[in-house]
Structure 1
Amino acid sequence: MKIRILSDSHDNAERLRVKLAETAPPMDIAIGHATSSDPIGAVNGTVPDVVVLDAFRSGAITQLEVLTQRYPQIDPIVITADTSSEFLLQAFRAGVREVLPMSPSPEALRAALTRITRKRGGTAAADGKILALTSCKGGSGATFLATNLAWILASLHGKRVALIDLNLQFGDAAMYITDQKPASNLAQVCQQIHRLDAAFLASAMIEVAPGFHLLAAPDDPAHATDVRAEHVDAILKLARANYDFVIVDVGRSLDAVSLQPFDMADMIFPVVQLTLPFIREAKRLVQVFLSLGYPMAKVGLIVNRHLKNSDISLDDLERTVNAKLFKAVPNAYEAVAASVNQGQPIARLAKGSPVTKALREIAEALDTETEKTSKNWLSRLFAAH
């Protein structure tokens, strides 16, 4: 991997070079010069795989976007003092995948390079499939779908399934399908990440049903900051190695932590409803995915609470959002409300519900495809819908 460090300080650049060399010695690392008038610097000669932009200022975001458009093969790592949500969103839209605080540690640089390598296809995926569900807008029903799909895959298809509640502020996935109280949660696992192994992870999870384990979100929103991207990376790798399916309820935030499951996912399912506010947010989300370089073959829209006589058609949705429909889940308010209120899977409580039927069809498609060995796993999955 060829890396070019651009900085207005030779000393800072040299320190970064040493840190990067510590992460993986075989890399080809060069140092360039950037100035206040030219914060991106020049990319001369061989185009590098990664450009590290040291002490980046938010006012240079336009120049950065020019760089990513001119050299789409380059993955930038931005090191900046501005890590506000507003700047992160601007950076994501400009095509930046990694934003680190000033003076990043070797571990943070290593994690960033690992994510870039994985995105480039440099590491082989383990057997388990990671499915990331995310709400395009609050109230989409993503948590309901994630938890009930996990239960069906485990209980009706005999798969080993892990569900990770990554809605760090107000995650409540557990209450949708069980009355058990979690003995631990995601934040507590991250606080003891040095102990992470299969047994430790299993001990922190609720066994909702045989083969179905759930890692709850932090019970205190203040502990959301204990969860870092490198922690999520390690947890998902371990879960993928021990489960047939790892379903992540991502929530609605866009930051380094929430992007981790999107990076690693075999499929990303934005959950949307056929109303204009939902569709507007779905379009914005898909644009972010595109700017991050995600192949659209792994993004499939799930329409929840679908009414056949809706003013907006499924075709309208696909054209507007510029993404393919994976599945439409019909509206069945009474059955869904009963399921949520009782904390029981809908497939157990209302076997004949059209929502149960739709979820079983999704599970069947996912299960069928994981048993095939063709390289075109994702394209065939969409072809079935």
Structure 2
Amino acid sequence: MECRCDKDNFDNAVSGWWPNSNGIQMGALTVVGYLLYRFSQTLPALIRWPIRLFCSLTGLTALWGWVGRLLGTVRGIQNLFNLVSRLWRFIIAFSSKCKWLVEVIKTLTGNQTVELDKDQTSNSPTKAALRFILLGPTGGGRTSLAERLLGNSEKEVPKNQLMQSSKRRTLVDGREVTVVDTPDLLGSSLGIKSRAREALRSLQLASPGPHAFLVVIKAPGSSRIDQDLTQAIGATVELFGEGAMEFILPVLTHADRLSPACTVDQLLDVGSGGLKRAVLLCGQRPELVDNRAGRPLEAQRELREQLVERVIDMKKLRGHFIHELQSRENHIREELLADMSSALAQKLEHMKGC
């Protein structure tokens, strides 16, 4: 009985003292008890049991059990992440060793089809955009070239004459290309007012300005009557000003009507030298193209890339064309904006004073 009373008194003393301790005493006792409990694991049983009894009385055994479960959960999450990381490294290593399978699939399905689908389905071009304005006399292949640039390999040129400038867009190797087709601006089928209106309209469609004027004519020797490139360049300068000369890229169409071995150099050497004089005016080597409808997709892709690469080179040197009227319009717009901002500032000052 005496021993039991002493034990009860001891338990009551401990239980009465523990809850009334402040935060510092509880923290210190918790740390000491935890260290003693962990240290007791390496001690002989004779010394270990008194330490465990102390931890049991102070409640530190339950605390250690909770900490142990928490550490076990953390180790489990860590093991799961390690497993996922090893699985991911295995997938990367396996895919790098199976690139040959991708090449086999491209070979079976047609590599050029895959590339064209990528160009036509991508909605987020990652490269700087390009803008073309197509000019040229009637019958030179201007509109059919526009269709080839847009990827319409099977579409025939409409029989009715194009009477108004039109703008369409396409993607070439992830780059947005704007193609502005025009009516007969360089010929005599339109009146002076119509030519002036459509010339300015084409600039508006290619805003803030085209990177190249593609002057499209038939290649010399491809028809009974040759078209004069010098005259076409002169008409372009009359419409758009002297600054347009640096942005002219001559395009010679109907290459299929020439001999298969015919090149641009041969065309420059033959004849009276009219083509060579025209090239000296604009400073750009002509491009010889086959603009027939129904051409294979690979040939169509090469044509597009051929012209796009030429225009990219021109853009790097000169940027885009800005018409004199556009510069004047921009200047007037800036002056108008300055006047409106001044008027608004005066109005705000007046309201503030009131």
More helix by share: 2
Greater C-alpha radius of gyration: 2
Q: TM-score range by the shorter chain?
A: 0.3 to 0.5
Q: What is the TM-score with the length of structure 2 in the denominator?
A: 0.34
More strand by share: 1
